[in-house]
């Protein structure tokens, strides 16, 4: 089995990509490496393809990640966005490309020393591809299997929240492409204010003292301190970010807003952030299975969420079983079912 070396790759020279992202018989935009006996070995050069049999054999050998040179990351991202919107590619690989491309962009956004150029580039990509990709994905349920297959990274929560928010915005506002890419941007940046919290607190959120918890509750407002630094981010996105822990019944934080006091984009973000938090523990691994998380949101604290938003979200997650039944053949169905619970 290939060794997992972490999202930064080896010495920052390579980055990892989930195997399920690669579609058969598509010319690769860059060289692809595999780890054999703890050594990186080149598997394909740019322009080569993977046959369907070769991909199946890698899956059979439990290879989960392949590695690409960092200097070819931009080319690979563009390749993924094209794959995600190419109707000649099968649905399973298109949806996998949407999730992987969003994760790569999220990693870049949150690991960049210079936030502003990364945000500018993200806005350009989301404006161009966000609404298109949201139309390619039928439901949030369809996203959950490739997300689970892709493994956990510290950026997964922001990437998932952005993906869910774009699909939900597309369902609620089908003709409003600005609302769709802005939902994606709000998802990617929603926890930006956590950068202002002490590192120890972020590492062990379960052990917070009362004082630390009071500080944590201010992170949606800390995000607003980046407003001047990032003038390209629209005011509606900042507003939604500042509202992402408020609840419909007024029981949230930091301001205890409720009902119509919360913006439409904020209401989308609250549901998506909450769902992803319930389905992942702090290390990014799966916690509650998706259908249990939805049941909890609908039955334990139903007043926390705007029913006009939670209803369509829930219907979109509950398509999960249908998508598992139709999952593409290169992945083991039993394996996917295990991954998403
Ligand atoms: Fe948060
Ligand atoms: Fe969050």
Mean pLDDT of 154-162: 92
Which pair of tokens denotes residue 279? 């389905």
pLDDT at residue 3, as a whole number = 42
Does the structure show a pLDDT above 70 at 5? no
Which pair of tokens denotes residue 148? 């689970």
Mean pLDDT of 158-182: 96
pTM (2 d.p.):
0.89
Ligand 2 centroid – CA 171 distance (Å): 22
pLDDT at residue 6, as a whole number = 45
| Whether residue 92 is found in the same domain as residue 239 | yes
Whether 287 is covered by a domain: the verdict is yes
Contacts of 287 (CB under 8 A, 6+ apart): 278, 279, 280, 281
Whether 57 is covered by a domain: the verdict is yes
Whether 80 is covered by a domain: the verdict is no
pLDDT at residue 340, as a whole number = 55
Ligand 2 centroid – CA 220 distance (Å): 9
Q: How confident is the model at residue 12 (pLDDT cuts 50, 70, 90)?
A: confident
| Whether residue 130 is found in the same domain as residue 183 | yes
CATH of the domain at 238: 1.10.3210.10
pLDDT at residue 2, as a whole number = 39
Ligand 1 centroid – CA 245 distance (Å): 6
To the nearest 10 degrees (0 to 180), the angle between helices 156-172 and 140-149 is 160
Mean pLDDT of 59-82: 91
DSSP string, 304-326: GS-HHHHHHHHHHHTTHHHHHHT
| Whether residue 152 is found in the same domain as residue 206 | yes
Q: Are 134 and 164 in contact (CB under 8 A)?
A: no
Q: How far out from the chain centre does Cα 257 lie?
A: 27
Which pair of tokens denotes residue 253? 């934080």
pLDDT at residue 287, as a whole number = 84
Q: Which residue has the higher pLDDT, 149 or 186?
A: 186
Structural domains of the chain, count: 2
Whether 8 is covered by a domain: the verdict is yes
| Whether residue 199 is found in the same domain as residue 263 | yes
- Cα–Cα distance between 221 and 243 in angstroms, integer? 9
Average model confidence (pLDDT) for the chain? 88
Domain final residue pick, 39, 73, 107: 73
Ligand 2 centroid – CA 159 distance (Å): 10
pLDDT at residue 337, as a whole number = 57
Ligand 2 centroid – CA 1 distance (Å): 33
Q: What is the pLDDT of residues 118-136, one digit of tens each?
A: 999 999 999 999 999 999 8
Mean pLDDT of 198-214: 80
| Whether residue 186 is found in the same domain as residue 302 | yes
Range of the structural domain that residue 166 is part of: 85-340
Nearest ligand (C-alpha, residue 271): 2
| Whether residue 13 is found in the same domain as residue 135 | no
Domain final residue pick, 73, 94, 129: 73
Whether 78 is covered by a domain: the verdict is no
Q: Which residues of 160-170 are buried (b: 16+ CB within 10 A; e: fewer)?
A: bbbbbbbbbbb
Ligand 1 centroid – CA 59 distance (Å): 35
Nearest ligand (C-alpha, residue 194): 1
| Whether residue 125 is found in the same domain as residue 261 | yes
Does the structure show a pLDDT above 80 at 147? yes
Q: Are 148 and 339 in contact (CB under 8 A)?
A: yes
Rounded to the nearest 5 degrees, what angle is found at the Cα of 297, between the Cα atoms of 106 and 242? 45
Q: Which residue has the higher pLDDT, 56 or 206?
A: 56
Ligand 2 centroid – CA 266 distance (Å): 12
pLDDT at residue 56, as a whole number = 92
Pairing verdict, β 32-36 and 39-44: antiparallel
Ligand 2 centroid – CA 125 distance (Å): 22
Does the structure show a pLDDT above 80 at 177? yes
Whether 79 is covered by a domain: the verdict is no
> For a pLDDT cut of 70, what percent of the chain falls above it?
87
């Amino acid at each position: 089995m290939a060794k997992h070396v972490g999202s930064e790759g080896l010495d920052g020279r390579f980055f990892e990509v989930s195997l399920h992202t690669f579609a058969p018989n598509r010319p690769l935009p860059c060289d692809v490496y595999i780890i054999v006996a703890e050594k990186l070995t080149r598997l394909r050069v740019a322009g080569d393809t993977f046959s369907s049999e070769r991909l199946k054999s890698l899956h059979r050998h439990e290879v989960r990640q392949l590695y690409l040179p960092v200097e070819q990351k931009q080319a690979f991202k563009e390749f993924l966005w094209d794959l995600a919107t190419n109707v000649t590619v099968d649905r399973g690989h298109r949806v996998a490309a949407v999730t992987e491309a969003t994760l790569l962009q999220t990693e870049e956004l949150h690991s960049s020393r210079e936030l502003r150029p990364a945000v500018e580039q993200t806005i350009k990509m989301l404006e161009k591809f966000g609404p298109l990709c949201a139309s390619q994905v039928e439901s949030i349920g369809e996203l959950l299997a490739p997300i689970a297959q892709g493994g956990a990274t510290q950026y997964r929560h922001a990437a998932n929240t952005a993906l869910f928010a774009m699909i939900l915005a597309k369902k609620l506002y089908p003709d409003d492409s600005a609302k769709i890419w802005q939902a994606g941007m709000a998802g990617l940046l929603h926890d930006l204010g956590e950068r202002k919290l002490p590192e120890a607190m972020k590492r062990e959120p379960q052990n917070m003292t009362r004082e630390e918890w009071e500080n944590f509750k201010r992170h949606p407002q800390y995000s607003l301190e980046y407003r001047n630094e990032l003038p390209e981010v629209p005011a509606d996105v900042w507003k939604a970010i500042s509202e992402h822990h408020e609840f419909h019944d007024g029981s949230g934080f930091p301001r205890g807003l409720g009902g119509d006091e919360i913006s439409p984009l904020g209401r989308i973000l609250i549901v998506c952030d909450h769902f992803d938090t319930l389905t992942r523990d702090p290390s990014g691994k799966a916690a509650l299975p998706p259908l249990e998380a939805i049941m909890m949101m609908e039955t334990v604290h139903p007043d926390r969420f705007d029913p006009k938003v939670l209803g369509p979200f829930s219907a979109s997650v509950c398509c999960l079983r249908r998508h598992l039944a139709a999952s593409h053949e290169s992945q083991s169905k039993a394996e996917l079912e295990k991954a998403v619970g």
